[in-house]
Amino acid sequence: MDILGPVPEIGHGLMQGYLQDEVPLDSKQFVPAPPADGSARQKADVAASEALRTLEGSARWELAAKDAELSFPSAASIFNCALGAVVSEEQTPALYRLLQRSLTDLGLATYPAKTAYQRPRPFLVNGEAICTPQDLGSLETDGSYPSGHSAIGWGWALILSQLVPEKAEAVLTRGRDYTRSRMVCNVHWMSDTEAGMAVGAAAFARLQNNALFKATLTAAKSELAAANLATPDVEACEEESANLAMSH
């Protein structure tokens, strides 16, 4: 089984996922409708969004903008500090490929529900800025619920926790903070991120039955166990931790 062989792109820079030939996960069947206008859940969403508006222009806002970038190689570095290791195509090729392909499976799993619900994003409601203005056009027409980035970030956190269980708490904390970046950016409501995490977990469970995913997972585990892995800059990681704490 060639875990690092050529893989086609399916458009928009996405590499074909592991679940390409399987029956798609229908997220609208298990993700409930988003909060209704005027409901307690919607009021909680608005309150959470307003509380984070104070972070616009801060270091946390800038980190949220960085978290939004899901193209490679930059996306491979999101969990470096939590892992205590530098993830790269050169040093950890199996893990790098695992993240590339699972991104597609995790993210696309949100679209049945997104398309069904078509919830407006926070910036369309509050009229405030977002941390990635270059994405404004595409975000305006892409449903807010559930959050695709949150499905990816939380799904990756689950995968990495499976690979390095001794780092699970740090990895899962970063995964949770990653989903919060979407709220900081003013592009998702709190319930969008929670629903995205649920979809990411469901797709993660589906991946456990895929032979190529499991083979790549095994190879990635060996890579992370190597004694000569490069480690991230300590000061940079301390700065990241301080910035993430701003949104707690």
Task: Name the H helices within the chain.
Answer: 40-52, 59-68, 80-83, 93-108, 111-117, 122-126, 136-140, 148-163, 168-184, 190-207, 211-224, 234-245
Choose, from 119, 174, 188, 206, the residue flagged as catalytic: 188
**Annotated catalytic residue within 60, 105, 192, 206:** 192
Active-site choice (60, 149, 174, 206): 149
The total number of residues shown for the chain amounts to: 248
- Decide if 182 is catalytic: yes
Helix (H, G, I), strand (E, B) or coil at 10: strand
Residues near 21 by beta carbon (within 8 Å), at least 6 away in sequence:
none
Q: How far apart are CA 162 and CA 211, in angstroms?
A: 16
C-beta of residue 69 within 8 angstroms of C-beta of residue 75: yes
Respond yes or no: is residue 206 known to be catalytic.
no
Q: Which residues are catalytic?
A: 149, 182, 188, 192
